Amino acid sequence: MNIGVEYIKQLSAHTETDSVEFKRSTGQLERGMETLCAFLNGDGGYVLFGMGDDGTIIGQQVADSTKRQIAECIRQFEPFPLVDVDYVTLENGLSVIVLSVVNNREKPYIYKGRPYTRVESTTVAMSQHQYETMLSYRNQPLGRWETQLNANLKVSDLDEEEILRTVRVGVEKGRLPEVAYTNNIEDALCRMNLMRDGQLTNAAFVLYANGANIDYPQCLLRMARFAGTTKEVFIDERRVEGNAFRMLDEAMQFCFKHLSLSGEVKGLIREERLSVPYKALREAVVNALCHREYQTIGGSVGLAIFDNRVEVSNIGHIPDRLDASNPHEMTLSIPYNPLIAKGFYYRQLFENWGRGIRLMVDECKDAGLEAPVFMSSEYQVTAIFYRNDYSEDKSKLSNNLSVKDTANYGTTEDDKINDKLSDKLSDKLSDKLSDKLSDKLSDKLSDKLISFIENNSKATLEEMAMYMGVSVRVIRYRLKKMIDSGKVIRVGARKNGYWKVNI
């Protein structure tokens, strides 16, 4: 790449970002190489030597020893990367050294035995989990867990009716060719790439297991209905082991049990609606089952219902190329387990065109709800849906339930109490009610938010809302109050800025 002075000026027009790093000289070569490693493990980027921290073009002397030193450092990367090195001469006779790399499939990279990653404008050591996850991506498709054969798995371990149902629906919906229709189980499994050389794949068990199996503890769904907006007390809890279709059915039954219903008469038909749209929740659970990192034995797919929200989570992470903070842009279809996703696709429960996120957003919008929030941490992806029937009065009652009260929840008397509470719920959480809820946040909760900001200065509104157990609207209202009173200030731009407590 031929880089000139004008291009350097463009790069220096902004402060350091998640893809641009400035170093005063090659005296900081080691730190620069660690950052270059982080860029290789991300979407690429530039490291410029001979630059001030603020982007001022300074330049430095470049000798043959400088070039040898850079070349020697590049040889310390594994695998060996493609690095463009440009020496741009300035009018003052000094030079700016530009090292640039692009996104590629060879990651993860390590420098001197350690992997690095980029967190906004900071380079940090990569965790072992993130490194192993990237490594599994690099080894795909041959190394994918779902494609691996299990010699101990037998066709008798699978649910034949579920397999034939998939074939029938797939043919009827045009997602499988008519020649795929068969009553021969092994033939059906082979056509769906779930059986090779007479042996079954791990994906076959995930999709069609006829029961729990000690070899597959990761095929687990955990569900809970919590009292209030935190996880301190639960009302109901369930664990389901089995195939993915059974877990999906159980998850939706749990939603119907614990989410309030409202009805609307259209013509002669009464349509029942959950407080969070059924299609959005189903899509979230299907996504969690298709994208779960099954090679990670611990953990589970999770469904947590609170007074004010529903959370669907799975072990894994959102691919680097997708932006979790902007669901409107998440239109690529990149299933972590393509074979498992295909099983849902044949059943018309999963789309191949990246429409799942859009469906969830649109369903919530049509129901008058806030757009769902998608959060990705190092180990887990969570979809958060805010309910339209939340009221502070009900939440207070729920929070006052004791552990003894919740242990027997579900009996006839408790059902009457729950029905009575549900009758008091409003159809929509209006702006006026949201403001009232914000006004009633206690000093204790405000102190909790301030404490969270002190320890997480770059937290997003969604992360604050999740931590506090309230909606983003309430967090935005509370932050405005704190900013107006001078307790909290915002430093820097929206993308690279941070919060500062001023008490």
CATH number, position 259: 3.30.565.60
Is 66 among the domain residues?
yes
pLDDT at 111: 96
User: Is cis: bond before 108, omega within 30 of 0?
Assistant: yes
pLDDT at 475: 79
Residue identified by tokens 């929030």 is 373
pLDDT at 439: 46
- 336 — pLDDT class (breaks 50, 70, 90): confident
Tell whether 201 and 127 lie within a shared domain: no
CB atoms within 10 A of CB 84: 13
Is 104 among the domain residues?
yes
Name which of 263-277, 313-327, 427-441 the model is least confident about.
Answer: 427-441
Name which of 82-96, 118-132, 150-164 the model is least confident about.
Answer: 118-132
Is 401 among the domain residues?
no
* Predicted model pTM: 0.55
Tell whether 233 and 362 lie within a shared domain: yes
Which residues constitute the domain of residue 311?
220-386
Distance CA(327)–CA(357), nearest Å, equals 7
Is 347 among the domain residues?
yes
Q: Mean pLDDT over residues 278-297, rounded? A: 91
Is 406 among the domain residues?
no
Q: Which tens digits make up the pLDDT trace of 454-474?
A: 877 888 877 777 666 666 777
- Per-residue pLDDT at 164 exceeds 50: yes
Distance CA(127)–CA(300), nearest Å, equals 21
Tell whether 31 and 166 lie within a shared domain: no
- Per-residue pLDDT at 271 exceeds 50: yes
- Per-residue pLDDT at 65 exceeds 80: yes
DSSP 316-364: S---TTS-TT-GGG------SSHHHHHHHHHTTSS-SSS-HHHHHHHHH
Tell whether 32 and 52 lie within a shared domain: yes
- Per-residue pLDDT at 333 exceeds 70: no
- Per-residue pLDDT at 37 exceeds 50: yes
Strand order in the sheet with 149-150: 149-150, 199-201, 195-196
pLDDT at 403: 38
Compare 418 and 369 and report the one with higher pLDDT: 369
The full 3-state SS of 454-488, as one line of letters, equals HHCCCCCHHHHHHHHCCCHHHHHHHHHHHHHHCCE
Q: What is the CATH number of the domain that holds 111?
A: 3.30.950.30
Three-class DSSP category at 414: helix
- Per-residue pLDDT at 266 exceeds 60: no
Tell whether 271 and 359 lie within a shared domain: yes
pLDDT at 236: 92
**Number of domains present in the structure of the chain:** 4
pLDDT at 430: 37
**Segment (H or E) for 266:** strand 261-266
Tell whether 262 and 204 lie within a shared domain: no
- Per-residue pLDDT at 213 exceeds 60: yes
- Per-residue pLDDT at 313 exceeds 90: yes
pLDDT at 443: 60
- 226 — pLDDT class (breaks 50, 70, 90): very high
Name which of 245-249, 387-391, 487-491 the model is least confident about.
Answer: 387-391
Select, from the ranges 60-74, 408-422, 445-459, the one with the highest average predicted confidence (pLDDT): 60-74
* Percent residues over pLDDT 70 in the chain: 77
Report CA-CA distances (Å) from 203 to 249, 300, 479: 19, 16, 46
Helical pair 431-439 and 472-485, crossing angle rounded to 10 deg:
50
Tell whether 64 and 181 lie within a shared domain: no
Name which of 38-42, 70-74, 438-442, 463-467 the model is least confident about.
Answer: 438-442
Residues with Cβ < 8 Å from 431, sequence gap 6 or more?
Answer: 473
At which of 123, 138, 153 does a domain end? 138
Compare 120 and 494 and report the one with higher pLDDT: 120
pLDDT at 432: 43
Q: What is the CATH number of the domain that holds 464?
A: 1.10.10.10
Residue identified by tokens 């692009």 is 102
At which of 138, 153, 180 does a domain end? 138
Q: Residues 362, 312: contact at Cβ < 8 Å?
A: no
Q: Which tens digits make up the pLDDT trace of 182-205?
A: 888 999 999 899 999 899 999 999
Tell whether 134 and 149 lie within a shared domain: no
| CA neighbor of 82 nearest in space, from 68, 64, 103 | 103
Name which of 16-25, 228-237, 407-416 the model is least confident about.
Answer: 407-416
Tell whether 361 and 473 lie within a shared domain: no
Is 397 among the domain residues?
no
Q: Report the DSSP beta bridge partners of residue 311.
A: 304, 384
Tell whether 339 and 295 lie within a shared domain: yes
- Per-residue pLDDT at 492 exceeds 80: no
pLDDT at 194: 95
pLDDT at 417: 41
pLDDT at 481: 82
Residues with Cβ < 8 Å from 433, sequence gap 6 or more?
Answer: 391, 426
Name which of 47-61, 334-348, 359-373, 405-419 the model is least confident about.
Answer: 405-419
- In eight-state DSSP terms, residue 28 is G
Mean pLDDT of the chain: 80
Tell whether 243 and 310 lie within a shared domain: yes
Is 400 among the domain residues?
no
Compare 410 and 103 and report the one with higher pLDDT: 103
Q: Which tens digits make up the pLDDT trace of 381-431?
A: 999 999 987 766 555 544 544 433 433 333 334 444 444 444 444 334 334
Q: Mean pLDDT over residues 297-309, rounded? A: 91
Q: Mean pLDDT over residues 474-486, rounded? A: 81
Q: Mean pLDDT over residues 341-358, rounded? A: 81
Distance CA(189)–CA(166), nearest Å, equals 10
Please calculate the CA angle 467-441-260 and round it to the nearest 5 degrees: 70
Question: What's phi and psi for 193, nearest 5 deg?
Answer: 60, 30
pLDDT at 422: 40
Greatest pairwise CA separation for the chain in angstroms: 86
pLDDT at 372: 93
Q: Mean pLDDT over residues 443-461, rounded? A: 77
At which of 180, 208, 236 does a domain end? 208
Distance CA(422)–CA(389), nearest Å, equals 8
Tell whether 84 and 171 lie within a shared domain: no
Q: Mean pLDDT over residues 332-349, rounded? A: 83
Q: Residues 148, 200: contact at Cβ < 8 Å?
A: no
Three-class DSSP category at 110: strand
Is 350 among the domain residues?
yes
